[in-house]
Amino acid sequence: MQRSDTRRGNGCRWLALMLSLGGLPSAWALQVKPMVFDMSALGQDSRKVISVANDAATPVPMEVVVNRLDLGPNGEMIRTPGGGDDFLIFPPQTVIPAHATQTFRIQWVGDPDLPQSRSYNISVNQIPVQPPDSAPPGGTRLSLQIVASFLTTVTVRPAQGLSSFEVRGAEATKTHEGKPAVALTVENTGNMHNYLANARVELRAGGWSEKLRPEDIRGRCGPALVLPGHTRRIVIPVNDLPSNPGPITGSVTFGK
């Protein structure tokens, strides 16, 4: 039985702070691009590139690991081991020289007739290295080793399909910082993923309304990926929301 673990958030994750013998250059010296990208199951867009820049003064060993990814109703990441056979990755492991950039070529080799979009985490992991023991006789050599793992999110779409967002609910809420917001619940009834940040959203309550463009949504709650067959609750900060707005309705439209 495979075990899945649930984690919140997007983008770069620090998976471990490890005490060990030896040390590696600071993880802050590594930059990975892109952190989120899409691919197609067919055609030229079935191939992508991940770039890792090592700004440190020493070489860094890296490896690439693939996990299946699902999203919970609040956007929580649910990672399940597996999915590596769906991609051809070259190189799978390498040592990136100091002040150099390494590109990892990612190619979809899974089902070309993919029935609906599927998401993965492609983790770019720093490999711990244990140097020779140079501690004095009878002494102990201990240092802090920071091991970084950068989680990129890739979603593969079928060659043909569409996404369709249906609004299932909207309610007044607060952000983690206590600011007014609307929690919009949307369901993707199509077979292709999409992002709320690609849409125009209109919120209404009594005499109040607000129209949000894609750039507004992206700046307030990020891309907000919604997978096909999934329902997701997305919290959108709204500064001018009345204190007692009453029932809230919303609409989502794609295109101009």
Residue-averaged pLDDT of the chain: 86
User: What local confidence, expressed as pLDDT, does residue 28 receive?
Assistant: 62
Residue closest to 39 by CA, chosen among 13, 2, 66: 66
At residue 75's C-alpha, the angle toward residues 74 and 81, to 5°, is: 125
The domain in which residue 228 lies consists of 165-254
**pLDDT of 2 higher than 80:** no
Same domain as 226, residue 135: no
CB atoms within 10 A of CB 72: 14
Total structural domains within the chain: 2
User: What local confidence, expressed as pLDDT, does residue 129 receive?
Assistant: 76
Strands (E), 127-179: 143-157, 165-174
Domain boundary pick from 157, 185, 215: 157
Mean pLDDT is lowest, of 40-54, 55-69, 118-132, 194-208, for 118-132
Domain boundary pick from 122, 157, 192: 157
Same domain as 111, residue 203: no
Residue 249's CATH number: 2.60.40
Distance, CA of 148 to CA of 183 (rounded, Å): 33
Same domain as 150, residue 39: yes
Same domain as 196, residue 73: no
**pLDDT of 123 higher than 90:** yes
Same domain as 172, residue 151: no
Same domain as 169, residue 66: no
Strands 143-157 and 36-40, sheet pairing: parallel
pLDDT tens by residue, 74-112: 999 999 998 999 999 999 999 999 999 999 999 999 999
User: What local confidence, expressed as pLDDT, does residue 13 receive?
Assistant: 36
Give 227's DSSP letter. Answer: -
**Quick one: pLDDT band at residue 136, thresholds 50, 70, 90?**
low
Kindly tell me the burial class for residue 160, based on how many C-beta atoms sit within 10 Å of its own C-beta (0-12, 13-18, 19 or more). Answer: exposed
Residue 149's CATH number: 2.60.40.10
Same domain as 92, residue 16: yes
